[in-house]
Structure 1
């Protein structure tokens, strides 16, 4: 089978021109009309059958797909890599677009909730939520921002801190701690004077229960790592003793001032 592209990384790049080259020749128009069973539909059927025979274009592509299950990424055919990358990028773009639409709808829904429309503060949640709404609405009168936007940002901060802290993100846990401290301060400031302590205490208990999930796995114990030393100490004693100079071979009597005893 011929290919129009040069090999890349030791692999042949299939081309659809190979499929056209393997197709049987098209009969002339008179034969298509004169002979039965030689119409264009029969020609396409024969071309399809021939491409699936051993050595055909579609047969080889199917073999590459079958072998890709047991091969590494570098051994997979290039056209399979391109198709997988294109599909993966398309899926990521689709997920990001969907996530953006969901986040936009959630923010619009939170912003549409009036900051002071949380009821009269009845119930456990109303006892905690209503003072926050009142505090934010009172502060928004001195700022160039709507009370609903402040309340939506307060809710979003708590949600991100709770979810991110559950996943173990350090920044999200810091945001969760600041969210709880700020919420307690707002409740203490805006709650009725007679039930201020009870409302703040109830909010502290609810925040502590939620912190079980937000601060999951957090410990104040110091982590001690006991690792063996990575070096080895091998004591060794090295003695350097100077050796005497060798005596010349022709001087067996020693130095010149020493002579043998003569009779």
Structure 2
């Protein structure tokens, strides 16, 4: 250490070498004068490259800092490594946001370009549940500035998000799943002919209940009671002593003698 407590070039501080670019140029050999073929400059570059990689050289120390970065804390990592990591992380975040924006734009465009769904009758169990919903959405879309296919695709997307998000325990997704099921039952009841209305709605309720096994996984209506043991009482005994000090007595012998009332004994 120097007398002013400044580290030298070869002494690290917190695992970092403090070598600046001006000091790097001071380490390099002098530049030879340019010749006709440039051989002197090329030899100088080779010599400078080898010297910076020798022990104590600029590139050697930078490589040492890269090796130490794996074993030290963030505070002790060299500043240039921190800057490179932060710049790379910000660049990655920007790229991810840009890609997410493109994906969302493509999804919305595809959602708006879905071909119009017809209200033809379906077959099977799924057709019994799906066909009334298509009919209901087609009738309602006639009074709305939106295509029936977009309404149907949004209905499917809501159910998928509620099912997947509810499976992973997301509270908002589970609320969306409950609203999705209730609204689906209402649409089926409204659009199904009177003869099969009860059967179609009941079948849809059973299918929704089976799917809820996954969407509402782990949900319970029992109150959660946390039994925490009461903390043990803490006793801190303290002894308080109150002492009364007597008032100081006046100067004298303590027997009521006045000053000057003392006679020495005579033989």
What interval of TM-score do these two structures reach, taking the shorter chain for normalisation? Answer: 0.7 to 0.9
The 5 A counterparts of 1:34-183 are: 38-117=39-118, 120-183=121-184
What residue in structure 1 maps to residue 224 of structure 2? 223
RMSD: 3.6
Q: CA 1:16/1:119 → structure 2, altered by over 3 Å: closer, same or farther?
A: farther
Q: Residue deviations 1:207-229, cap 9 Å, x none?
A: 22222222122111111111122
Question: SS state of the match for residue 74, structure 1?
Answer: coil
- Alpha-carbon distance in structure 2 between the residues aligned to 1:242 and 1:39: 98
Structure 1 contact 116–130 (Cα < 8 Å) conserved: no
- In structure 2, the gaps of 5 or more residues are 1-6, 256-267
Residue number in structure 2 paired with 1:28 = 33
Instruction: Could you tell me which runs of 5 or more consecutive residues in structure 1 were left unpaired when the two chains were aligned.
Output: 252-263
Q: Distance in 2 between matches of 1:15 and 1:131?
A: 75
Deviations 1:140-167 (A, max 9, x none): 1122333233223222222222222222
Deviation at 1:59, TM superposition (A): 1.0
Preserved contact between residue 174 and residue 216 of structure 2 (Cα < 8 Å): yes
Q: Which whole-Å CA distance do the structure 1 matches of 2:235 and 2:23 have between them?
A: 70
Per the TM alignment, residue 234 of structure 1 is displaced from its structure 2 partner at its CA by 4.6
Q: For residues 18 and 117 of structure 1, what CA distance do their matches in structure 2 show? A: 77
- How far 1:10 moved relative to its partner? 9.8
Give SS of 2:75's match: helix
Mapped partners of 2:161, 2:14: distance in 1:
46
Comparing 118-127 and 77-86, the one that deviates more: 118-127
- TM-score after normalising by structure 1: 0.76
Q: 1:25-61 deviations in whole A, cap 9, x for unaligned?
A: 221113x649xxx444333222222111111111111
Could you tell me how far apart the structure 1 residues matched to 2:93 and 2:101 are?
A: 12
- Residues 182-191 or 153-162, more deviating: 153-162
